Structure 1
């Protein structure tokens, strides 16, 4: 699985880039995404069964309907999520944020970063260079 990390300051166009890049990648491979939420807390829906399970101490809860599954996990470790994606056989993980991890990245704007593959590229350019991004090797835990 290759990691394509999109980083930049707030309002630099990271999410816009990802919304354009994911369909391009999905046309040729399986794609999963991870977003660093920063200071934004994702609220679980109050009173719903999966929320009650989670609040009761479950380490993971999953709700499944006719179209999708939604999972809540207690982990905040990006590597555990990447390990899961790799285990599932996904071919690309598009990651927004986590600049401190040093994944090979596309930088939007003037942010200082290491392991930069491209700067201020558009989605089509990133797609064309997708094989230049690092292959993730799952951690043995």
Structure 2
């Protein structure tokens, strides 16, 4: 599996880019998965549901399954946050794993940058950022891609990851 990151400050448009990029990559015949890092606690479960009650009772993992999807919830409890490599090992093999967040992980990344947000670009500090997608022209020592040109962004990722389409 090829791994490619999407990084940027909060509010830069990472999720919106991924939402448009995934169908473009699927249309080229690729099987794509996503790992999203959350900086805060989150819960995909609801109090009162059986699965929530099982976790609250102390189960280390609870798997929900139906005819349309399944989900595995793993409680870290006293464990440290898992490394990206640990999470990647749990995925079903695919062509490309897009990783949103995990800025510190040493995987090739596309930075989503919006100068209007007033935040400094990350590419100046990170060697693993291989291109920047921006909503305006900027000077950079790496390729600058038009943020709203999804085909160009998809083509760049395919070339960089040497994916066969």
Q: TM-score, normalised by structure 1?
A: 0.82
Aligned residues: 133
Specify the SS of the correspondent of 2:67. Answer: coil
Query: Shift in Å at residue 43 of structure 1?
Result: 5.1
Calculate the aligned-residue CA RMSD, in Å.
2.1
Query: Shift in Å at residue 40 of structure 1?
Result: 4.8
Match of 1:117 among 121, 125, 130: 130
- State the structure with bigger RCO (CA 8 A, min sep 6), 1 or 2: 1
Query: Shift in Å at residue 6 of structure 1?
Result: 0.4
Query: Shift in Å at residue 104 of structure 1?
Result: 0.4
- Residue 87 of structure 2 aligns with which residue? 81
1:62-99 per-position Cα deviation (integer Å, ceiling 9, x unaligned): 111232112212354122220122xx221111110000
**Ranges in structure 1 where 5+ consecutive residues have no aligned partner:** 136-141
What CA distance in whole angstroms lies between the structure 1 residues aligned with 2:59 and 2:86?
A: 17
Inter-CA distance 30–89: structure 2 relative to 1 (3 Å threshold):
same
- Residue 69 of structure 1 aligns with which residue? 70
Q: Does 1:31 align with 2:45?
A: no
- Residue 99 of structure 1 aligns with which residue? 103
Q: TM-score, normalised by structure 2?
A: 0.72
Inter-CA distance 79–56: structure 2 relative to 1 (3 Å threshold):
farther
